[in-house]
Amino acid sequence: MNSEKFSIVQFVSLIGLILLMLWTAFPLYWVFNMSIQTPLDVISYPPKFVFDATLENYSVVLLGKAWLGKYETVQTDFPRYFLNSLIVCFGAVGLSMLVGVPAAYSLARYNFRGKENFAFTLLSFRFAPGLIVILPLFVIFRRLGIYGTYHGMMIAYQLITLPFSVWLMRGFFEDIPMELEHAARIDGYSWWGIFRKVDLPLVAPGIAATAILSFIFAWNEFLFGYILSSDVTRPVTPSLMGFISYEQVLWGQMAAAAIITLLPSLILAIFIQRYLVRGLTFGAVKG
């Protein structure tokens, strides 16, 4: 009786897993599908699962080459938006690391007044509505004349990358047993020597994972780039909004642009899979 019941449970589980995987994979598959269809195929009904694939959408998006024939294209500056995202995200992550690594170490290793208040303030940024910071920054940046500049955005992006980096790296530093540091101190290492020779090598994978995750969060961010950038410095996620008004004609190009935009995040995510749970919960859950 038990084995029969067991196999039914297994069968239902298998069906459940297949449905779950379809739910996850189908949208990705379908949008990729659309991205390699011609304008005629992409708006045909019923939708085409089999067709002659074309890379035209990608070349239009990346090179700004127009469709021949009756379908037009908007001239996008997609490669520049992509480059903008790279510049802003690298800058933002770099600044966060520069400032965040020492702060995380300090929070993990020393006790001082107001430490936990500071940590909670950082955490509360994670939950604050972005606009409450972005709108004042919009006004302030315009007055200071740094509205629409790369460095202005890098500073603004700290709201996303800094709390995350500090919290996550604090956890990584706390994972290193104090005994190791004590042993090194007895061996005559200075503070800087201990940090460099003992802590840093042990925490390096964690720092790398933190940097990559911050980069993904910055890359995925929409609102900051949408409001604080100019036409010249616009990052890639807000630039996608430009395709929407033309969606009737440009489905294939939108799909191609979406695929290009999501690739960096997806590829990086696969590399740091084992840190994802920890990263997404600010170190609260150790995966």
Partner 1 sequence: MASGMELRQSFWRKNIALLLFLPAFLLTVGILAPFGYSVVMSFTNFNLTTGTSNFIGISNYIKLVRDPEFWNSLKVTILFTIGAVLFEVGVGFIAAYLLNIGLLGQKLWRTLFLLPVMLPPTVAAIMWKLMMAPIQGVFNYLLQLVGLPGSEWLGSSSTALLSVILIDAYVFIPFAGMIFLAGVQNLPKEPYEAAAVDGVSNWFTFRKLTIPLLKPVIIIVLLFRIMDCLKHFDIIYAATKGGPASATMTLSVQAYYHSFRWTAMGYSFAHLVVLWAIVYALSYFLVGQWKKAVSEVHGY
Site for partner 1, residues 27 to 66, rule: CB under 8 A: 27-28, 30-31, 34, 43-47
The residue from 7, 21, 53, 83 that contacts partner 1 (CB under 8 A) is 21
Angle between helices 247-271 and 56-63 (to 10 degrees): 90
- Give the interface size with partner 1 as a residue count (CB under 8 A): 91
Q: Is 11 in the site for partner 1 (CB under 8 A)?
A: no
Q: Which of these segments, 8-16, 62-70, 179-187, 203-211, binds partner 1 (CB under 8 A)? A: 8-16
Rounded (10°) CA dihedral 43, 44, 49, 50:
-110
Region binding partner 1 by CB under 8 A among candidate stretches 53-61, 181-189, 199-207, 215-223? 215-223
Q: Which is nearer to partner 1, 73 or 254 (CB)?
A: 254
Cα separation of 238 and 242, whole Å? 8
Does residue 133 belong to the site contacting partner 1 (CB under 8 A)?
A: yes
74 Ramachandran zone, left/alpha/beta (phi>0; psi -120 to 50): beta
Q: Verify binding: residue 200, partner 1, rule CB under 8 A.
A: no
Exactly one of 7, 59, 75, 121 binds partner 1 (CB under 8 A); that residue is 121
CA dist 43 to 47, 58, 248, 263, 271, Å?
7, 17, 8, 24, 36
Nearest approach, Cβ of residue 265 and partner 1 (Å): 5
Give 1's DSSP letter.
-
Site membership for partner 1, residue 144 (CB under 8 A): no
Instruction: Look at residues 256, 222, 215 and name the one whose alpha carbon lies nearest to residue 241.
Output: 222
- Is residue 245 classed as helix, strand or coil in its secondary structure? coil
| Whole-number Å distance between alpha carbons of 97 and 117 | 21
**Does the footprint of partner 1 cover residue 254 (CB under 8 A)?**
yes
In the complex with partner 1, the residue whose CB is nearer, 107 or 233, is 107
In degrees, rounded to 5, the angle at the alpha carbon of residue 238 between the alpha carbons of residues 66 and 232 is: 70
262 lies in the binding site for partner 1 (CB under 8 A): yes
Phi, psi of 52 (to 5 degrees): -80, 115
Give the x-and-dash track for 71-110 against partner 1 (CB under 8 A).
---------------------------xxx-xx-xxx-xx
Which one among 40, 66, 83, 128 touches partner 1, defined by CB under 8 A? Answer: 128
Distance of closest approach, residue 109 Cβ to partner 1, in angstroms? 7
